[in-house]
Structure 1
Amino acid sequence: MKFIEEVVVEEFLPTVRAMLAEDLRDRGFTQHEVADALGISQSAVSKYAHGDVARHERVVADARVQDLVDRVGEGLASGDMSRVAALVEIEVLIRRLEEGDLLAELHEAAMPELRDADVDFSVHDPESGLRERERVLASVRRGLRTLTNASGFAALIPNVGANVVECLPDAETIDDVAAIPGRLVDVKGRAMVPGEPEFGVSEHVATVLLAARAAGSDARGAVNVRYDPELIEELDDDHPTVAFDAEADTATAVREAVDAHGAEDGDDASDALVLYQTGAVGVEPIVYVLAPDAPEAARIVRELC
């Protein structure tokens, strides 16, 4: 794990200081004067002067960095710019280069996972897309732990496998839904987990969740389990249960069923919701428990164990 601040400290600042030291020396500053102007030791200035401090080639080659060094060097040499003003100028450029620019690219090179996330990431935005995606993945992990730690959960896994999913707040496609790749399966009475949660790896459960949301549900989490009339009765005691047609297109059938149920009963869209189909030729009957998030959906399922 490497923070962007480390990139700034280890790669950007040494390069800029070395460039400024060289610029000031070219303007006639003594080693002592350079040290005083930059607020560093004379030994540090000596290291910069003798090339003992590595410079990052991309930073050196960046025209904005070159312009900054020229402006700050001239300002410090003429006395028009104080050390505080120079610091502000450098800080402003750092913040600019951190936002999807040079420093962000160097950060991605040090942390390839950021590049692989394929989402805009702003280090100074607490609501950035990457942070929200990581929140959802963490939520799915919590839901998964709730299920795998529940005695008897494996017996609720249908033949096609179970999954625990959660979507982003503005989800539109299955790529916006995090789930367990390959689904959970029953192996000798235990739920086998194939891998870590990822986005875009669920089709059936994600489709049901997205269709329910399209019909007005605020649910963001879901878990599917095997169908059993007794399970439906138990769930119906605390949550609205809605049947949909297994022979029709899943997304369409779910939207129509949820829309019709909501119009009839006026349920709160933020409540948990149970959707189920009783099967068809080649289609296994399944129950889907939808809730505000994955841990809550998992908690509801755990109570059935």
Structure 2
Amino acid sequence: MRLPSEIVVDRFLPTARAMLATELADRGLTQQEIADHLGVTQAAVSKYVGGEVTTEKRFSEEPRMQSAVDRIATGFTEESMDAYEALGELLAVIRAFEDRGPICEIHEEEVPALAGLGCDLCVRGYDESVADERAVLSAVRKATRLLADASVMVGYVPNVGTNVGMALPEPDDELDVAAVPGRVHAMRGRIDVPANPEFGGSEHVARTILAANSVDASVRAALNLSTDEAVLDAARDRGIDPLAFDAGYDDRPERLESAFRERGAVPPVIYHEGAFGIEPITYVFGTDAVAATRLAIELVANAEDGS
């Protein structure tokens, strides 16, 4: 656990001081004058100017930081800005950096549970509504780990890649569905998950989930596999009647929703046989990402056992 204020103290403040010390020295101020402005010792200024203090490039190379340092340095040099106004300049930069900026980026690196939340915790404070987002992201992360650990799945990842998606309760659009940006691919005999899940990270899987969810609100997740007759047979052996649908992308969500309503339910498995330029794909649904992934793994394992 690490607070964003710790990042401000440990990384932002040393970087800001080093940048200001260097800029003020370049403008002809003595080290003691710089120390008086920054509220540090002359020895500390010597280290800042001498490059002996570790700085964070994500702060020092940011235009907003550079502009603030230039304004403060000008104000100090021309005696048109006092410490109160300088603090205001730096606090404005900190607030901007905490709102999906470099402080947010570093915070997510050091607190992985925040990944994909866009620093909502820092910006909005703790909010019960964020709990659903965290639960969905956690479920998708767990599902992708299950997928990556299941070697039996390697041969069933489509050439275009697979994805595991899960929607928030009562989703409105693709931005309410979390999935892996860039999809999951089979590489050198294993499944590679390139990134943590994010909301809006999928298009086709997300639209398929939304179509299913519009008919059955309990269905909130899915993943896609290569269509394979043995897998479809394994589903039938479990009492699942896979639903075939047309491979075309035009109006697919509407066509799927209509097919689900005609069936009277959302079947756990749907598939198409492909078309020109479209790879044959099967979708496996679940109440959450983990349930959908576990069902897919079981179906593939059963198909492999029966082959």
* Superposition TM-score tier, normalisation by shorter sequence: 0.5 to 0.7
Task: Name the structure 2 match of 1:112.
Answer: 104
Q: Unaligned regions of 5+ residues in structure 2, if any?
A: 8-38, 41-82, 89-93, 109-115, 302-307
What's the CA shift string for 1:58-99, capped at 9, x where partnerless?
9x98xxxxxxxxxxxxxxxxxxxxxxxxxxxxxxxxxxxxxx
| Partners of 2:284 and 2:195 in 1: CA distance | 22
SS at match of 2:165: strand
Query: Please, what TM-score do these two structures have when normalized by structure 2?
Result: 0.59
Superposed CA RMSD in Å reads 3.7
Contact persistence 1:223–1:289 (CA under 8 A):
yes
SS at match of 1:234: helix
Contact persistence 2:269–2:284 (CA under 8 A):
yes
Deviation at 1:120, TM superposition (A): 6.0
Residue type at the aligned position of 1:150: A
1:278 aligns with one of 273, 278, 284: 273
Corresponding position: 1:295 with 2:290: yes
SS at match of 2:145: helix
Task: Name the structure 1 match of 2:220.
Answer: 220
Contact persistence 1:245–1:277 (CA under 8 A):
yes
| Partners of 2:280 and 2:97 in 1: CA distance | 50
Deviation at 1:151, TM superposition (A): 2.2
Corresponding position: 1:257 with 2:259: yes
| Partners of 1:295 and 1:260 in 2: CA distance | 27
Contact persistence 1:221–1:294 (CA under 8 A):
yes
Distance 1:123 1:300, change over 3 A: same
Task: Name the structure 1 match of 2:195.
Answer: 195
Task: Name the structure 1 match of 2:73.
Answer: none
SS at match of 1:302: helix
What's the CA shift string for 1:159-196, capped at 9, x where partnerless?
21111111111211111111111111121221122212
SS at match of 2:219: coil
Distance 1:105 1:204, change over 3 A: same
Task: Name the structure 2 match of 1:134.
Answer: 134
Task: Name the structure 1 match of 2:74.
Answer: none
Task: Name the structure 2 match of 1:95.
Answer: none
SS at match of 1:213: helix
Deviation at 1:126, TM superposition (A): 3.1
Deviation at 1:214, TM superposition (A): 1.8
Task: Name the structure 2 match of 1:41.
Answer: none
| Partners of 1:5 and 1:201 in 2: CA distance | 30
Contact persistence 2:272–2:281 (CA under 8 A):
yes
Residue type at the aligned position of 1:192: D
Task: Name the structure 2 match of 1:24.
Answer: none
Q: How does 1:21-100 map to 2 (within 5 A)?
A: none
Deviation at 1:238, TM superposition (A): 3.9
Give aligned pairs, total. Answer: 217
| Partners of 2:172 and 2:132 in 1: CA distance | 15
Contact persistence 2:4–2:103 (CA under 8 A):
no
Bigger Rg, which one: 1
Residue type at the aligned position of 1:223: L
| Partners of 1:217 and 1:276 in 2: CA distance | 21
Task: Name the structure 1 match of 2:21.
Answer: none
Corresponding position: 1:155 with 2:155: yes
Deviation at 1:241, TM superposition (A): 2.1
| Partners of 1:193 and 1:169 in 2: CA distance | 25
Q: Unaligned regions of 5+ residues in structure 1, if any?
A: 8-50, 62-102
Runs of 4+ in 1 over 6 A off after TM superposition: 4-7, 103-107
Task: Name the structure 2 match of 1:244.
Answer: 245
What's the CA shift string for 1:219-256, capped at 9, x where partnerless?
11111101012211211324342221113532122111
Distance 1:170 1:259, change over 3 A: same
Task: Name the structure 1 match of 2:229.
Answer: 229
SS at match of 1:160: coil
Q: How does 1:176-195 map to 2 (within 5 A)?
A: 176-195=176-195
Contact persistence 2:185–2:191 (CA under 8 A):
yes
Residue type at the aligned position of 1:245: D
